[in-house]
Amino acid sequence: ETGVTQSPTHLIKTRGQQVTLRCSSQSGHNTVSWYQQALGQGPQFIFQYYREEENGRGNFPPRFSGLQFPNYSSELNVNALELDDSALYLCASSLRLAGGLSYNEQFFGPGTRLTVL
């Protein structure tokens, strides 16, 4: 069984640039959630993808966008980077069954550390 993987592990960008972060879900999982964790804080929910559609969104501006692919992997895109976007970005995968029943336990990847200068 393959766990959740994320790439890259570290990234340094400058203000105004754009960034794409990638996540491969755990084998058998079909739902991917993205979280932002600022230093010293708990993770904050960005959005969730299921069947290639956004399932719900946290309090993040539209410059945070995402995709889910047919193999359930996912991307997080952030445009017009700001200094406050510097954080650890965590991807979590879970299994949701047809009919709405979810296994809610989410398995997290190692994260991508984004630094915006």
Partner 1 sequence: SQELEQSPQSLIVQEGKNLTINCTSSKTLYGLYWYKQKYGEGLIFLMMLQKGGEEKSHEKITAKLDEKKQQSSLHITASQPSHAGIYLCGADTPLVQGAQKLVFGQGTRLTINP
Q: How far is the CB of 16 from partner 1 (least distance, A)?
A: 25
Considering beta carbons, is residue 3 or 16 the nearer one to partner 1? 3
Q: How far is the CB of 92 from partner 1 (least distance, A)?
A: 8
Write out the residues near partner 1 by the rule CB under 8 A: 4, 31, 33, 35, 40-45, 48, 50, 55-56, 58, 88, 90, 92, 96, 99-102, 104-111, 113
Tokens of 46: 């960005």
Q: How far is the CB of 73 from partner 1 (least distance, A)?
A: 17
Considering beta carbons, is residue 71 or 104 the nearer one to partner 1? 104
